Amino acid sequence: MKKLITLVLVAILSGAFAQGRLFGEVASGNMSLVPGFSLSVQARMGAENVIGPLALRGGFGLATGGGTQFSIGADVIYFLRSSGNPDFYFGGGLGLVAGGTTVFSINGNAGLEIPVTRDFNFFVELQPALLFAGGSSTFVMGVEFGPRLYFR
């Protein structure tokens, strides 16, 4: 199942690469604040303007906090661009976390991207998510931050 999801994600992103400017979030940290503390590192790639003004982002992660967990996910993002000022974006997506138990997530995101240069920015993102595992659901609120690199 994990291989199938990975192949679908790669196929979607490879079709999206020709559409708009590519970006990568090489090593971003995610701190979960509710219901308990955990820390994760994500590596993600994306492309702008894949479906009209929407960007597509996908990637994988490694998390600690009650055991090691591996994750994979994809998001659709809408950027509100402004010249020279911080850019705002929002969106949502789906994810799958494996490690001990398998967890399916429906997540949102709202973030602020602070431009440093044309191709290098910092971002901070608020991530509410609804997690489903073993017939129960949990709400979590995370904060993510890190560098975002543009490749084209």
Domains of the chain: 2-150 (2.40.160.20)
pLDDT digits (tens, 9 = 90+) for 59-85: 999 887 667 889 999 999 999 987 768
CA pair distance 112, 121, nearest whole angstrom: 10
With CA atoms as reference, report the closest residue to 148 among 37, 6, 21: 21
**Any alpha helices (H) in the chain, and if so which ranges?**
2-16
Per-residue confidence (pLDDT) for residue 26, from 0 to 100: 66
Per-residue confidence (pLDDT) for residue 52, from 0 to 100: 86
Per-residue confidence (pLDDT) for residue 11, from 0 to 100: 54
Per-residue confidence (pLDDT) for residue 27, from 0 to 100: 61
Contacts of 71 (CB under 8 A, 6+ apart): 40, 42, 60, 61, 62, 63, 95, 96, 97, 98
With CA atoms as reference, report the closest residue to 20 among 49, 44, 46: 49
CA pair distance 101, 18, nearest whole angstrom: 37
Contacts of 127 (CB under 8 A, 6+ apart): 30, 107, 108, 109, 141, 142, 143, 144
Per-residue confidence (pLDDT) for residue 118, from 0 to 100: 84
Q: Which residues of the chain have pLDDT under 70?
A: 1-19, 26-37, 65-66, 84
